[in-house]
Amino acid sequence: MLKPKYHILVCTSSRATGQQKGFCHTKGGVDLMQNFLLEVEERELGSEVMVSNTGCLGLCEQGPIVVVYPDNVWYGKVSVADISVIMDEHIENGQPVERLLLR
């Protein structure tokens, strides 16, 4: 994979020091990240979809935050139960999930 078709960024409140501190971390951000990785693997999309964790994205009260590039789509209050919907509708069919959008 030179450049991914989609890059999914999941806020896990990771600091530059490696320390995890912040709201998304306490709201299940790490679990979310791990489940996105599993979902991408199970769908055999690893050659076109990259998943990365991030530090605070500045919208803690809306967390956990998930951002999908290159679409610049920001999702808020994402749960593990939302992952399959994001994968089905957005990643596999190009349609952002309206009910989770941050505007």
The binding site for ligand FES (CB under 6 A) comprises: 11, 13, 22-24, 56-60, 63, 65
Structure tokens of 11?
Answer: 């806020």
Tell me whether residue 11 or residue 45 sits nearer to ligand FES (CB atom). Answer: 11
Question: What is the strand order of the sheet 66-69 is part of?
Answer: 49-54, 6-11, 66-69, 73-75
Instruction: Provide, rounded to whole angstroms, the least separation between the CB of residue 26 and ligand FES.
Output: 9
Instruction: Provide, rounded to whole angstroms, the least separation between the CB of residue 52 and ligand FES.
Output: 13
Instruction: Provide, rounded to whole angstroms, the least separation between the CB of residue 15 and ligand FES.
Output: 10
**Residue 90 contacts residue 40 (beta carbons within 8 Å):** no
Tell me whether residue 30 or residue 45 sits nearer to ligand FES (CB atom). Answer: 30
Instruction: Provide, rounded to whole angstroms, the least separation between the CB of residue 7 and ligand FES.
Output: 17
Tell me whether residue 6 or residue 74 sits nearer to ligand FES (CB atom). Answer: 74
Tell me whether residue 58 or residue 94 sits nearer to ligand FES (CB atom). Answer: 58
